[in-house]
């Protein structure tokens, strides 16, 4: 999912509200899906119906990855924790 977000793709996956809240992932642009065909189709229809937003959704995904998964930032966080 991270690679797809970094490439500006629209991503669907397990983004349950409880998981998103627990991880403080409020700005994560992943469309939540469950193992339910009807629900997946509904999410896909939502994306297709607002296809003019796809470039914006892709941009948001890329920005999310840069903000939260930049390897330099992550390495710096590890170093800070290690120093403590």
- Tell whether pTM > 0.85: no
Mind listing the pLDDT tens digit for each residue in 34-72? 999 999 999 999 999 999 999 999 999 999 999 888 889
The helix or strand, by DSSP H or E, that contains position 42, with its residue range, turns out to be helix 37-49
pLDDT for 16: 85
Mind listing the pLDDT tens digit for each residue in 15-36? 888 888 887 777 888 899 999 9
CA distance 79 to 7: 28
Q: pLDDT averaged over the chain?
A: 91
């Amino acid at each position: 999912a991270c690679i797809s977000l970094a490439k500006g793709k629209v991503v669907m996956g397990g983004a349950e509200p409880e998981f998103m809240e627990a991880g403080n992932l409020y700005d994560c642009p992943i469309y939540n899906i469950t193992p339910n065909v009807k629900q997946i189709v509904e999410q896909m229809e939502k994306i297709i119906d607002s296809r003019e937003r796809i470039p914006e959704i892709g941009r948001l995904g890329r920005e999310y990855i840069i903000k939260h998964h930049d390897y330099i930032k992550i390495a710096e966080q590890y170093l800070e924790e290690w120093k403590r």
